[in-house]
């Protein structure tokens, strides 16, 4: 029986030794640092991970004061954590720096009492959070940069939830709406969008496709209509949607003004009795004007010239014997700019023209606008009047000579 008890005791001791070895194997190979300190802060035990975190190569850790390994400015924080663990029990944490390793250590501390109730040792779990801190700093820097961009960009940036409630805006959105930033947060999108816009259909399509692109009318704080060129992306985060837009009100107003101006121009262009055309003057390699091409003509052009379907055609093609003075005048205006009023015949067209010509566009475009009127009838009338005047002058002279002779004849008698 004694022999049997001895065998059981030996087996229990062996099992205990195996468990002890397994424990120390785990303790030593664990990726987390484990460390025990005496009440005076002397290192009693540590595993390999703790040694790598704290000790420089060749420096002994056991028997050393733990406070010597951490940054002097972190001592107060560390000892405050010890006191909290002693007074409250349980695990308390702090973060300290290890100057020799350039690391930051996250320490979990628990106080271990002995059989008398006094603190026999401190138990600590250590984890190196250097990379985590760097990642947090990088993330913070990125967030700061993004925040700076968010605040500085000229485009309005707005995030909405699924209920179309505004979650965040940047200053540009406040500028467009005329509503302060803090007053925009929490407002519903329909309160901002002009009622003429079919927001309901647009929102359904947006949630379905995940994208939006278009012009959106809004009413600013003064009640004025603003046009925003907006694009949206759904679910940049769960239930969060992003919209970016810029105010194109002035551009739209300019486009409308231009459209109205063009409309008025077209009405004038089409209704005036004078012929009007825009030509491109053609030059040879020596910059001598040799021809011109009709680019644009008004309805009165054909009536004033007798030329049909002139647009796109060259003058030499239409009237090969057209006088050189036309090409020279238009060539000079195309090159030098300015304007000129003149009257010239166009013999092949059997017409005489009163012309006002001026350059349009840049010099490199070689374009000239021409406003002209057929004054052939007037020239014919002037010619007839001139001939009549000449004939009358001859008759007057002849009659004067006859009278003179009659007077001389009477005076001799």
Pairing relation of β-strands 103-113 and 211-219?
A: unpaired
Closest alpha carbon to 346 in 384, 367, 372 = 372
pLDDT at site 112:
66
Q: Is the pLDDT of residue 228 over 80?
A: yes
pLDDT at site 96:
87
State the average pLDDT for the chain. 83
Grade residue 223 by pLDDT with cuts at 50, 70 and 90.
Answer: confident
pLDDT at site 114:
60
Average pLDDT on 112-131 reads: 75
d(CA 242, CA 176): 17
Average pLDDT on 284-308 reads: 93
pLDDT, tens digit, for every residue of 329-351?
Answer: 999 999 999 999 999 999 999 99
Closest alpha carbon to 265 in 254, 279, 276, 253 = 276
CA 80 to chain centroid, in Å, comes to 52
pLDDT at site 234:
92
Average pLDDT on 345-365 reads: 93
Is there a contact between 275 and 301 (Cβ–Cβ < 8 Å)? yes
pLDDT at site 311:
93
Grade residue 206 by pLDDT with cuts at 50, 70 and 90.
Answer: very high
Average pLDDT on 309-324 reads: 94
Among 8-12, 51-55, 289-293, 349-353, the minimum mean pLDDT is found in 8-12
Average pLDDT on 387-412 reads: 72
Integer Rg of the chain from CA: 50
Average pLDDT on 191-197 reads: 91
Average pLDDT on 171-196 reads: 88
Grade residue 222 by pLDDT with cuts at 50, 70 and 90.
Answer: confident
Cα–Cα distance list, 220 to 169, 174, 249, 253, 315 (Å):
15, 9, 12, 16, 56
Counting residues of the chain whose pLDDT is more than 70, the rounded percentage is 84
Among 153-162, 294-303, 338-347, 378-387, the minimum mean pLDDT is found in 378-387
Grade residue 217 by pLDDT with cuts at 50, 70 and 90.
Answer: very high
Paired tokens of 282: 């053609």
Secondary structure of the chain in the HEC alphabet?
CHHHHHHHHHHHHHHHHHHHHHHHHHHHHCCCEEEEECCCCEEEEECHHHHHHHCCCCCCCCCCEHHHHCCHHHHHHHHHHHHHHHHHCCCEEEEEEECCCCEEEEEEEEEEECCCCCEEEEEEEEEECHHHHHHHHHHHHHHHHHHHHHHHCCCEEEEECCCCEEEEECHHHHHHHCCCHHHHCCCEHHHCECCCCCHHHHHHHHHHHCEEEEEEEEECCCCCEEEEEEEEEEEEECCEEEEEEEECHHHHHHHHHHHHHHHHHHHHHHHCCCEEEEEEEEECCCCCEEEEEEEEECCHHHHHHCCCCCCCCEHHHHCCCCCHHHHHHHHHHHHHCCEEEEEEEEHHHCEEEEEEEEEECCHHHCEEEEEEEECHHHHHHHHHHHHHHHHHHHHHHHHHHHHHHHHHHHHHC
Q: Is the pLDDT of residue 74 over 60?
A: yes
Q: Is the pLDDT of residue 257 over 70?
A: yes
pLDDT, tens digit, for every residue of 12-58?
Answer: 655 555 555 554 555 566 777 888 888 888 888 888 888 888 875 55
pLDDT at site 312:
94
User: Which residue did the predictor score with more confidence, 274 or 33?
Assistant: 274
Q: Is the pLDDT of residue 188 over 80?
A: yes
pLDDT at site 298:
92
Grade residue 139 by pLDDT with cuts at 50, 70 and 90.
Answer: low
Average pLDDT on 92-99 reads: 86
pLDDT at site 145:
67
Counting residues of the chain whose pLDDT is more than 90, the rounded percentage is 35
pLDDT at site 113:
66
Among 19-28, 58-67, 220-229, 404-413, the minimum mean pLDDT is found in 19-28
Q: Is the pLDDT of residue 126 over 90?
A: no
């Amino acid at each position: 029986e004694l022999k049997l008890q001895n065998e059981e005791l030996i087996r229990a001791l062996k099992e205990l030794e195996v468990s002890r070895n397994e424990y120390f194997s785990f303790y030593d190979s664990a990726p987390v640092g484990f460390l025990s300190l005496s009440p005076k802060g002397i290192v009693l035990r540590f595993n390999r991970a703790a040694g790598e975190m704290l000790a420089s190569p060749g420096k002994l850790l056991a028997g050393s004061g733990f406070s010597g390994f951490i940054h002097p400015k972190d001592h107060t924080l560390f000892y405050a954590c010890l006191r909290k663990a002693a007074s409250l029990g349980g695990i308390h944490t702090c973060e300290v720096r290890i100057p020799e390793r350039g690391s930051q250590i996250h320490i979990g501390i628990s106080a271990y009492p002995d059989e008398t109730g006094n603190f026999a040792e401190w138990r600590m779990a250590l984890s190196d959070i250097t990379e985590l801190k760097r990642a947090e700093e990088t993330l913070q820097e990125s967030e700061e940069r993004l925040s700076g961009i968010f605040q500085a960009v000229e485009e309005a940036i707005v995030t909405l939830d699924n209920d179309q409630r505004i979650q965040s805006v940047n200053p540009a959105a406040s500028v467009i709406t005329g509503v302060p930033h803090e007053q925009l947060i929490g407002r519903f999108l329909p309160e901002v969008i002009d009622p003429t816009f079919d927001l309901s259909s647009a929102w359904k399509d947006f949630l379905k496709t995940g994208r939006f692109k278009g012009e959106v009318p809004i009413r600013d704080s003064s009640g004025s209509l603003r046009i925003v060129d907006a694009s949206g992306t759904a679910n940049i985060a769960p239930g969060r949607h992003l919209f970016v837009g810029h105010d194109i009100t002035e551009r739209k107003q300019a486009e409308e003004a231009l459209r109205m101006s063009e409309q008025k121009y077209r009405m004038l262009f089409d209704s005036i009795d004078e012929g009007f055309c825009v030509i491109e003057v053609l030059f040879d390699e020596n910059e001598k004007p040799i021809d011109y091409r009709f680019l644009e003509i008004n309805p009165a052009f054909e009536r004033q010239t007798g030329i049909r379907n002139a647009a796109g055609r060259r003058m030499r093609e239409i009237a090969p014997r057209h006088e050189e003075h036309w090409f020279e005048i238009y060539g000079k205006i195309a090159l030098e700019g300015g304007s000129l009023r003149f009257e010239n015949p166009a013999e092949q067209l059997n017409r005489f023209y009163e012309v006002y010509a001026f350059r349009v566009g840049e010099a490199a475009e070689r374009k000239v606008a021409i406003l002209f009127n057929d004054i052939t009838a007037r020239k014919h009338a002037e010619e007839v009047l001139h001939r009549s005047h000449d004939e009358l002058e001859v008759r007057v002279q002849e009659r004067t000579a006859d009278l003179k002779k009659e007077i001389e004849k009477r005076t001799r008698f």
